[in-house]
């Protein structure tokens, strides 16, 4: 059962559309689906909303502390409402997954992600759930810092948006603690593959007047 969903990112218009803010994108869409509004709660160092699903309260959080101090906000809400680490879901960008993929997991290391690193420290535990939103890797570890703070390409942004939409279909299962169902739904929701080109049959080519270039010049084809 999930009682707190935290999306990670950096506050402000300069970062709004960058890869590092994929967690914010997910939580904002979750808030829209749950018909709640995120409001600044200075005591919890972030934007917070309360929703009710199947009679259960769930808190949505967007830390406004900048990524490296995300745990300050997450831990504040968790402590105040007596939410255990295993009842927390953190949605974050994931370098090790390509755009268009999302994976759910519980526990594990922070893999160098500074937002997760601080949540580990502030919660005093790594036993929380993570929803890893693929943003791809630049191919060079020295480029990672610049990569996450830049906007994705238009194609990557579309792939990420489609992945968010697919994973959000598991939102009710996540909240009610049906993690096996949520995992199956999220992990089997793959990006649609482009259809292969249809093979051209020889009799179809003949019926259309021959293969390209037969009996005509390239210039004639253009005109």
User: How far is residue 156's CA from residue 146's CA, in Å, rounded to a whole number?
Assistant: 16
- Dist. CA 211–CA 216, nearest whole Å: 10
Helix axes 114-123, 70-80, angle to 10 degrees: 30
Query: Please, which residues have CB within 8 angstroms of residue 125's CB and are 6 or more apart in sequence?
Result: 85
* Average confidence score pLDDT of the chain: 88
**Domains of the chain, start order:** 4-187 (3.40.50.1470)
- Name the catalytic one among 17, 20, 44, 137: 20
CB 24 within 8 A of CB 7: yes
pLDDT tens digits, residue range 64-114?
Answer: 999 999 999 999 999 999 999 999 999 999 999 999 999 999 999 888 899
Q: Which of 100-104, 144-148, 177-181, 217-221 has the lowest mean pLDDT?
A: 217-221
Q: What is the pLDDT of residue 126?
A: 95
Q: Give the pairing type, strands 88-94 and 56-63.
A: unpaired
Q: Strand pairing of 46-53 and 56-63? A: antiparallel
Query: In which band, very low, low, confident or very high, does the pLDDT at 197 lie, cut at 50, 70 and 90?
Result: low
Tell me whether residue 20 is one of the annotated catalytic residues.
Answer: yes
């Amino acid at each position: 059962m999930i009682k707190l969903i935290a999306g990670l990112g950096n506050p402000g218009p300069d970062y709004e559309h960058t890869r590092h803010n994929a967690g914010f994108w997910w939580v904002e869409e979750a808030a829209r689906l749950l018909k709640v509004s995120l409001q600044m709660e200075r005591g919890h160092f972030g934007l917070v909303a309360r929703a009710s699903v199947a009679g259960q309260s769930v808190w949505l959080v967007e830390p406004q502390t900048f990524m490296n101090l995300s745990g300050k906000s997450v831990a504040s809400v968790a402590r105040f409402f007596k939410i255990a680490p295993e009842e927390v879901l953190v949605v974050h960008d994931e370098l090790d997954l390509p755009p268009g993929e999302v994976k759910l997991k519980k526990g594990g290391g922070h893999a160098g992600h500074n937002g997760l690193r601080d949540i580990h420290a502030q919660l005093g535990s790594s036993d929380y759930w993570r929803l890893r939103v693929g943003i791809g890797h630049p191919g060079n570890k020295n480029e990672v810092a610049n990569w996450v703070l830049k906007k994705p390409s238009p194609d990557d942004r579309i792939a990420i948006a489609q992945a968010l939409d697919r994973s959000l279909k598991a939102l009710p299962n996540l909240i009610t603690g049906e993690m096996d169902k949520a995992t199956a739904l999220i992990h089997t929701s793959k990006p649609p593959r482009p259809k292969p080109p249809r093979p051209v049959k020889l009799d179809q080519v003949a019926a259309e007047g021959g293969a390209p270039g037969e009996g005509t010049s390239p210039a004639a084809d253009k005109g």
